[in-house]
Every structure is written in structure tokens, then in C-alpha cells.
Amino acid sequence: MKLKTTAPLDLGYMPMALVLKDFEERAKNEDGKKIVIGIERNKGYLSTYEMTVFNDGTGHDEENFDVVERVVKSLLWVRGGYKVIIAGSDVIGNKIKAAYDFGGLREFDRGFMARVYERPFEVEVVSLENAPKENEAAEPVGRHLAGCRIGFDAGGSDRKVSAVIDGEPVYSEEVVWFPKTNSDPKYHYEGILDAMKTAASHMPRVDGIGVSSAGVYIDNKIMIASLFLKVSDEDFEKHVKNMYLDCAAELGRELGYEIPVEVANDGDVTALAGAMSLDDNGILGIAMGTSEAGGYVDMAGNITGWLNELAFVPVDFNKDAMVDEWSGDYGCGVKYFSQDSVIKLAPAAGIELDPNLSPAEKLKVVQGLMLEGHEGAKKIYETIGVYFGYAVAYYAMFYDIKHVLLLGRVSSGKGGDIVLEFAKKALANEFPELAEKISIALPDEKSRRVGQSVAAASLPN
């Protein structure tokens, strides 16, 4: 596969957007057939995706599975769901069923989705005539700025909090912490409460608290979150599931009144921050930090209820690509659009990082080299930019996008400008029709660092 824009430090990169485009073109040339993939989630909501594959038994069965499996995985982590429906191919459907069975290739994904939706995970194979019908929903989110509000953004390397009065931040701070390596939930609780108290001390009162946090949230409860990776299942149920509600309640008791609280996935808050800063909709927000967080505000300005966990969406078809330690899968966004990507590319850039440093500290070393004009550091950001340009084309297969907004530590400083430049270049060279439709932008430096916590403040109504 020849790319029109190559990734300087990763010549084996195989962008999913190109792989899928090439696959469907070849299948159509051989009079292939249509299949429909359905993903069902809570409340009977159902997403569908149509694609062309080679006919069964024509020597392409393994290739069919390899590509369709990546698309199914992408749909699961973009839309979320506990049930996969494959319509139009028994061969592909049964291979997908085996992959998502206990002990199969995607056992991690199966378990994750079953836990999130609290339903047994299943794969159903049906005829094309019985293909599932789409059933989607969306609702307005945030943009409530009147009064005195706290916005808290829980990152994996640092926590950010803002005190916001009538939409203007009067105080913001970032504090380094290590939530992913601490097994005692008291550590997390005290850090969150301290941030809320600090913000409250800069305002005459607190009218609401909005929380932006990595993970999956239902009714403001924490269902799954990588911030609590080391916390035992027992402690999670007892002390973590209601942690944000509990911290807000304790602050409320100290202040003498109840404080409304709203918790949202950090990716959705990223998209909300973009919508608010651009005063527009159709926004895919990407936060490149400890992991890759994604969120989406649709063309009507609503959130969709989709999972938007882009960290686990495959962007590289190369089976020799780096494997994510948590999911055990290759080529997923977390290793391309986070501080992990910077660290991964450092050896190829001729940069030796002290293994005793934390990931956030390693990122700071590379950012420092970037300021000094280090050529290898520049190549790292060029490579991430190329990755991202092709990934935007792939994401556009699942989202209706007008704007892609970048936030997070990796996009800070000069490196972020290079990522933006090369992402635009890759998209324009390979997918000019998308480049005309989709803008990729960075907010100003202040918004990049604390914009998410300010947007979080607007969540409570």
C-alpha cells in the first residue's frame, strides 16, 4: 500500500481509511455483495453500517473477516452496544461470532460491553432480508453558563479545575496526580474533593459542579473508568461508582446547601468545548492526553449517547503495530493519539527517555526538545500528524463532521502546530473531498489546557 503522505517514523503504517476504501473497491470490481452490520445498545437504540465484501467461498473469506472484524470493532467503540448483528453473510457472521465468544480474539471487548450495558453480549447472524433497521436518538448537552460553577476535568496524569462565573473562568489550576497507579480509592476521593474545594474558595457560592472524566457514565455513576484501573472490583462498587456524587455532596454539606452535579465522558466535553468555542455544530473533539478521548456533537448540536471511546478504535491495519496493554489489540488509537504515541516513536527519533520517568514526564522531555529545535522531536509530531489526517478520514465513515478540534497535552505548544499541519496535509493529499468539508483546528493555548474544565462547568442545568 503506497501512501501519498508517509509517516516519517512509521513506514509500516496502514491507515484503516485506505485499507477499507481499497477493499471495497476491489470487492465491487469482482461483483461482491452488500452486508449490513448492526450494533444494538441500551433502550433498543441501534446503529447500522453497510459495506461491500467479496462473495463467500471465492478465496477471500479470510480477507473479508480481517476487514469486517476491524469495522465491527470500530462500530462497537464508536457507538457502543451489547449486541452485534451481521446480515448478509453466514461465513463472515460466524467468524465474528467466534471472535467475540469466550476465549476468542475479542474477549476483552465482549466483557467490556457486557459490563457497561449490564447485558450479556451476543452476536446474531441473519439474512440480508432481515437486516436490522437504524434507531438512533440525541439530546442537547451543556452550554449553561449563568451563575457560579465548578468545572472539573479528571485526566490520567493531571487533574484540572476551574471556577467559572457567568461563563468566565476566574480561577484555574492543574495538579499532577497518579490515579492509574493507586489502588486505594481514598487517594482519588481526596484529590477530587480538594480540587472542588479549591475552586469553591474562589467564588461567593457554588451553583453547580460539572465533571469531565474518562470512562463510561450512566446517571452520573461511574460504570467503567481507567482512572481506577488498580482499584479492586469490591472497592469500585463500594467507593468508586458514586465518587463524584459523594464528593459534591460532601462539599455541599460544608457549604450548607445541596449542589447540582453532572458527570460526562471527557470526550463529549471535548466536543462541547469545541462547539462552544466555534459557536457551531458537527464537531468531533479529540483530546490527546494520557489516552485518546473522543466526543461528538452532531449537526443539530446534540450528543448522541454513543460511546465515542476512540482510544480503542483501530486506525492502523498493520498486524505488527504496537499492542495496547489493556485491550490486547493492535493498531488502536491510544497508541497513536496520546502521550503513549510520543513515547512509542521516541526511539525511532533517536531520543532516549529515562525509563524511571512517568509517561507525563517523558512527554515533557520531548516537548522540551521540540522547543530546542530537535529534529527527531519534530519528526515525532509530523508522524502523529500524518496518523491523524488518515484517522480523520476513517472517523468520517462513522460521524458526520464539519470540524475536528484538538485538545490535550500532546497538542500543546509547537508540537501541536506540527500535528495540525501534517494532519491537514495528509487529508488533503489523500482525501481532497473530505479536506474541503472538514476543518481541523487547535484552540488557543489557554483553551487547550483548561478549556475542557470550563466546558464541564456548563453541564449542570
Transcribe 377-419 into DSSP letters: HHHHHHHHHHHHHHHHHHHTTTS--SEEEEESGGGSHHHHHHH
**DSSP collapsed to 3 states, 81-150:** CCEEEEECCHHHHHHHHHHCCCCCCCHHHHHHHHHHHCCCCEEEEECHHHCCCCECCCEECCCCCCCEEE
Per-residue pLDDT at 445 exceeds 60 = no
Q: For residue 450, what pLDDT is reported?
A: 47
Q: Residue 209's beta-bridge partner residues? A: 150, 261
pLDDT, tens digit, 9 for 90 and up, residues 277-333: 778 899 998 889 888 988 899 998 887 889 999 999 999 999 999 999 889 999 999
Per-residue pLDDT at 268 exceeds 90 = no
Q: For residue 444, what pLDDT is reported?
A: 64
Cα 279 to Cα 86: distance, rounded to the nearest angstrom: 39
Q: What is the CA radius of gyration of the chain?
A: 22
Q: For residue 98, what pLDDT is reported?
A: 98
Percent of the chain past pLDDT 90, that is, above it, reads: 78
**Are the beta carbons of 381 and 8 closer than 8 angstroms?**
no
Binning pLDDT at 50, 70 and 90, where does residue 348 land?
A: very high
Per the model's pLDDT, the better-predicted residue between 8 and 268 turns out to be 8
Residues composing the chain:
461
Q: Which of 265, 276, 278 is nearest to 305 (CA)?
A: 265
Per-residue pLDDT at 132 exceeds 50 = yes
**Are the beta carbons of 438 and 427 closer than 8 angstroms?**
yes
Cα 412 to Cα 367: distance, rounded to the nearest angstrom: 9
CATH 3.30.420.40 in the chain: give the residue spans.
Answer: 138-461
Q: Which of 169-178, 369-378, 385-394, 446-455 has the lowest mean pLDDT?
A: 446-455
Q: For residue 78, what pLDDT is reported?
A: 96
Q: For residue 254, what pLDDT is reported?
A: 97
pLDDT, tens digit, 9 for 90 and up, residues 323-335: 998 899 999 999 9
Query: Burial code of 320-344, b = ≥16 C-beta within 10 A, e = fewer?
Result: ebbebeebebbbbbbbbbbbbbbbb
Cα 274 to Cα 283: distance, rounded to the nearest angstrom: 7
Per the model's pLDDT, the better-predicted residue between 59 and 265 turns out to be 59
Binning pLDDT at 50, 70 and 90, where does residue 27 land?
A: very high
Per-residue pLDDT at 52 exceeds 90 = yes
Q: For residue 245, what pLDDT is reported?
A: 97
Q: For residue 218, what pLDDT is reported?
A: 78
pTM, entire model = 0.85
Cα 24 to Cα 15: distance, rounded to the nearest angstrom: 15
Per-residue pLDDT at 447 exceeds 70 = no
Residue with cell 469466550: 102
Cα 216 to Cα 10: distance, rounded to the nearest angstrom: 32
Q: For residue 16, what pLDDT is reported?
A: 98
Burial class from Cβ neighbours inside 10 Å (0-12, 13-18, 19+) for residue 254 reads exposed
Q: Which CATH architecture describes the domain 138-461?
A: 2-Layer Sandwich (3.30)
pLDDT, tens digit, 9 for 90 and up, residues 158-177: 899 999 999 899 999 999 99
The CATH class that applies to domain 31-130 reads: alpha beta
Per-residue pLDDT at 390 exceeds 70 = yes
Q: For residue 140, what pLDDT is reported?
A: 78
Q: Which of 214, 198, 202, 211 is nearest to 168 (CA)?
A: 202
**Are the beta carbons of 302 and 141 closer than 8 angstroms?**
yes
Average pLDDT, the chain: 93
Q: For residue 451, what pLDDT is reported?
A: 67
Residue with cell 466555534: 278
